[in-house]
Structure 1
């Protein structure tokens, strides 16, 4: 038992294994947050249901408005919108549409990013700009 304890202590202290430990930590955080999110969603995001619902609506509005702007100004398409649905005429001359619902947002990915960045070790001054910049990158990807 002492040998196992010494081996574990050596592994814990070894800098050569740091990349593997970081990958294992990342995988653990990713999977644990995934199940936490599912559990929390099944319980209607208690006690923050109203705030999470507002955040989903806010994020889907941003996604909808940016999508319409890109289709009109970058791709030059004639776009018709009804509520959160974008209609365009396709190559066959018929209507195609995309419904931008709150489920289309990357809110879960934002939360994953924040959870992982907060839990990983590192200077707080880096996290203060990594986290917001990461959310912007996730949103545009």
Structure 2
């Protein structure tokens, strides 16, 4: 997953945070909103972004489009085959729940803040509450394994 892209001569394009998104939504002028999304992604003001050369602005637009493309949010497949997700109302063993939870925790760590819930609902095929339950099981299992290792 891509979280930032270096734009030559300009800076690093990053995902917007919640404060930036709210500030953009409050802008009345739609043209200024479009520029603000690019500027804030680079850590600039709208005026600073407008002061850039046309080639730098186009490079920033290209980086923004790559950063927010569906391919940028696609996570690479792990070397091991992914665990099959349960069907609705299917019983899942604690071992399988912990394995899926560990995979979900790894995915959550790679995604930007606030994107995991959306990813679970749209991409995983399970509900957010199921994901939370699986991750909790994985955390409990890891803690019990650590306590066993410490007692030995």
Q: Which has the higher strand share?
A: 1
Whichever of the two has the greater Rg, that structure is: 1
Fold conserved (TM > 0.5)?
no
TM-score (norm 2): 0.29
TM-score (norm 1): 0.31
Greater relative contact order: 1 or 2 (C-alpha under 8 angstroms, separation 6 or more)? Answer: 2
Q: Which has the higher helix share?
A: 1
